Amino acid sequence: MTSATAGGTAPVPPARKRKSVTGTRRTVAALFLLPALVLLGALVVYPIGYSVVRSFYDQSGDGFAGIDNYKALFSDDGIRTALKNNIIWVVFAPTVATALGLIFAVLTERVRWGTAFKLVVFMPMAISMLASGIIFRLVYDQDPDKGIANAVWVGVHDTFASSSAFPKAHPGRESPLKPDQGGFVTRDAVRAGQSVSLPLVGVAPDQMPDSAKKAVQAATDPGRVTGTAWQDFTRGKGVGRLGQVDPSELGYSGMQIEAVKDGKVVDSAKVGDDGTFTLSGKADGALLRLPADNFKEPYNGLDWLGPSLVTPAIIGSYIWMWAGFAMVLIAAGLAGMPRELLEAARVDGANEWQVFRRVTVPLLAPVLAVVAVTLMINVLKVFDLVFIIAPGSSQDDANVLALELYRKGFAEDQPGIASAIAVFLLLLVIPVMLFNVRRLRREVRR
């Protein structure tokens, strides 16, 4: 290179080619990216394009249907129910899962065994949707002996309102009792000094209360009405005497007896363990009634998978799976939070609730937004849980767009409408994805 002459300018060196950060040439980079681009085109771009085109054709695929398939999205009852349920899913599932994740992440920072708790909460993420659906189909079983949800619910209910021990009890042959408003009443009025027999049948010996003892015939009392209510268990000729207390028969321990005059209860008593009971002289001339409460069916819990509760029940199973995911991401954000800000707030006199609400949550807002938006995209595509947990009788009530897409495309052979649902789902997901991408880029610039 020559030096500059007087009054002249130095020669400009030739411009150098810009290289990539790693020094890789563009041709080599393109060759490495080509297989991924081919797969992306074959597995994503082509199916999307085909679905868009197919959504404008009729069921056979030969005739152009225009926007008729899209009109069906808002006129078909099944699709409208699915759309309504998807709105419920998008509003509640991400919100509750994110809120629980936030609570778990904040609280586990304060306990020594927080890591173990996080592991337990995150563990459902290792289970497939199929397995989770099977698990919760059993959890929500109507039978309290099988479904844990109803086992807990029935246990709580029976703590405050005990069920009858005699739902199947009823009068036998030649009984002095007759039906009355769900219970039974004596055919004739009773008198003081009389010992009344109230035989019932229909309860197997092994289903009798544990407190029940061998029945005895009540002794008479001149000023009172006495009696016996027992299981009159006759098993054919020569085994047990009809209408009489036998040594092998048990009393209806705990059964309620009422004395009724002119439609009003004048006295009441509870049957003892041996089946005997005693009423005061007020019962003289009254009818004895066994109220319907003695014979009501035992409480069997809630119909979790019935039409009214099936969607909330399935959302509950989704939250069980994904709250751990939200907790882990929020905990990562919490770990990177500057602690001096929290300490400064406490020094300024803020209590823990104020620190959480005014410092922790605002600082975690970007992470919370990413978690919530990610879960929104996820719930728009939910299919497995609804398909497996909801029984056939309630599947229409629990329907979502992804399930309706499957039913239209495979069960009802309407590929045009199924393609329209797929395109509609894509249009719903795209704005949420763009929001998430923009937020992530904004965070990177910071």
Task: Return averaged pLDDT per consecutive 10 residues of the chain, 446 residues in all.
Answer: 51 56 74 91 90 88 86 87 94 95 90 87 89 93 89 84 77 87 90 91 82 90 92 64 82 91 92 93 92 83 91 95 93 87 87 89 89 91 92 91 90 88 89 80 71
**Token representation of residue 320:** 């069980």
The answer to whether residues 272 and 251 touch, using CB atoms and an 8 Å cutoff, is: yes
- Can you name the residues that pair with 50 across neighbouring β-strands? none
3-state secondary structure of 13: coil
Write down the pLDDT at residue 293.
85
- Can you name the residues that pair with 214 across neighbouring β-strands? 250
The Cα 318–Cα 325 span in angstroms is 11
Buried/exposed 303-332: b ≥16 CB within 10 Å, e otherwise: ebbeeebbbebbbbbbbbbbbbbbbbbbbe
CA distances from 94 to 50, 91, 208, 433 (A): 31, 7, 49, 15
Q: Which of 380, 376, 321 minimizes the C-alpha distance to 126? A: 321
Helices 415-445, 46-54: crossing angle, 10 deg rounding: 140
**Count of CA atoms in the C-beta half-sphere (13 A) of 339:** 2
Backbone φ and ψ for 109, nearest 5 degrees, come out as: -70, -20
**Token representation of residue 382:** 């939910």
**Count of CA atoms in the C-beta half-sphere (13 A) of 263:** 0
The Cα 316–Cα 411 span in angstroms is 27
The Cα 91–Cα 265 span in angstroms is 53
Distance of CA 48 to the CA centre of its chain: 34
- What is the pTM (predicted TM-score) of this model? 0.74
Taking CA 215 as the corner, what is the angle to CA 213 and CA 217, rounded to the nearest 5 degrees? Answer: 150
